[in-house]
Structure 1
Amino acid sequence: MKSLDRALLTCGLLIPFWLLTGVWLTAQAYPGYDHLQQAMSQLGATGAPTQDWSPLLNNFPLALLFVLFALGLARRWRTSKLAMLSAALILLHGLGSLGTGLFPCDQGCAPAEPSRSQQLHNLCGLVMFLSLTLASALWVRLGKRLAGSKALGWFSLVCLIAAVVTAVLMAQAAQSGQLFGLYQRLNYGVSVIWIAGLALCSLYPALANRFRIATT
């Protein structure tokens, strides 16, 4: 594997750590911020104390990492149309992350009459959820068929189910006003952990083969 391909795929491994570190650091500068109750988007919301630099630390770098990883995935599995489609979906996710940073949500992120920026923010967020969910669904099949790893297929399935379940819990929490931040973090956390797992198996085929042997 070429060094460029390794560098691009390694971006997928960095994503969970960047997300965790970026959100934690930003929240330190937001007095009274509650990770269990508040959405991550509130860190960059209009009027938030961290509005100006939250996208610079979170949305924009993550968007770049997703795009670079998508390019690496496309180069690694270029013989498969479905894998190329998954790479396109991950690239789309990166563009959605860029959009959520460019268009901040309104104060509180849940206004009765959302602004145009809030509407675009919500649209980009929906694109982010759908793109990674569909990408992980593709790898339920591609794990065994392309990477030769049943474990990757099962891992993708578990992450897919967890993403859907936590999305439902997020919707319920939005209505009740309780623990939205927790369910959002679980939802996105599952997705970026899946990205890291896919990056590992793409970088180290021998690792995927070991998982295959362990599950047969």
Structure 2
Amino acid sequence: MSERINRWYYFSGVLAPIWLVIGVTIAGSVYPEYSHYNQAMSELGAKGSPSHILSPLINNYPLGLLFILFGIGIIKTFSTSTLARFSGILVLIHGLSSLSAGFFSCDVGCALESPSPEQNKHNISGLILFFSLLLSSLIWVFISNRCLGIKWFAWFSLACSLVAIALLPHMAAAIESGEGFGLYQRLNYGSQALWVLVFALILLRRKITK
């Protein structure tokens, strides 16, 4: 019974990246002239946007719950590895940050100049979102072989982490130029979401003993 319950936790990790793509696509479709190339995903839930109410309901809140469940699954699975359990806590924190980012909306356009107190909370939630999942993936660079018996997942975790880090300067430059931020943000978060998807599939397919 316990193994069957754990599989539902793992399935949450598989579903989260898929849900992300579908949710952002739907929210963007009800936002006239919204640009996935130039605009941040947070703008879908910004105050006054056409998708202000819809976006957190179909994106942040369900995604937050899915990440929380997946984090719990990691914690329950690797009961004897402190680092593995810590990575699960970080995924859980990522889920809580998603809920927070949805509850605290950014201002119209999500401009960084003179943000409202609510946008400041949204921005802090976004930073925690990024660093929690990044650190979780970096942990598996060092423990993948020991905890999973899979060497390639260590290299995969490293690659996903490096992609996310390498895109940060491009995101900063895009903020200055006003072009391409949406693309770089999606590639940045997409690399980490892909890591979650692959990790969850590994857990679904393997019987973990450590």
TM, length-normalised to structure 2? 0.96
2: CA distance, partners of 1:76 / 1:56? 30
Q: 2:141 — aligned with what? A: 140
Partner of 2:119: 118
Quote the residue 1:213 is aligned against: none
SS across alignment from 2:108:
coil
Runs (4+) of structure 1 moved beyond 6 Å?
A: none
Mapped contact 1:76–1:202 kept (Cα < 8 A): no
- Give the Cα–Cα distance (whole angstroms) in 1 for the partners of residues 206 and 62 of structure 2: 27
Query: Partner residue of 2:50?
Result: 49
Q: Which residue of structure 1 aligns with residue 206 of structure 2?
A: 205
For residues 117-136 of structure 1, the C-alpha deviation after alignment (integer angstroms, 9 at most, x for no partner) is 11000000000001011001
In 2, Cα distance between the equivalents of 1:58 and 1:176?
Answer: 27
**Equivalence map 1:132-171=2 (5 Å):** 132-171=133-172
Residue 28 of structure 2 aligns with which residue? Answer: 27
Aligned equivalent of 1:79: 80
1:111 deviates by 4.6
Aligned to 1:10: 11
Seq. identity, %: 46
Structure 1 unpaired stretches of 5+: 209-216
Instruction: Pick which of 196-205 and 153-162 moved more.
Output: 196-205
Displacement, 1:156?
0.1
Deviations 1:142-179 (A, max 9, x none): 11121110111010000010010112211121122110
Structural RMSD (CA): 1.2
Q: TM-score, normalised by structure 1?
A: 0.93
- 2-side partners of 1:204 and 1:50: how far apart? 37
Aligned pair count reads 207
The Cα offsets for residues 75-108 of structure 1, whole Å up to 9 and x where unpaired, read as: 1112100000000000110111011100000000
* Corresponding position of 1:214: none
Q: In the alignment, residue 94 of structure 2 is paired with which amino acid?
A: H
Q: State how far apart, in whole Å, the 2-side matches of 1:84 and 1:171 are.
A: 32
Separation (CA, whole Å) in 1 of partners of 2:54 and 2:24: 11
CA distance in 2, matches of 1:169, 1:195: 23
Cα distance in 2 between the residues matched to 1:114 and 1:128: 19
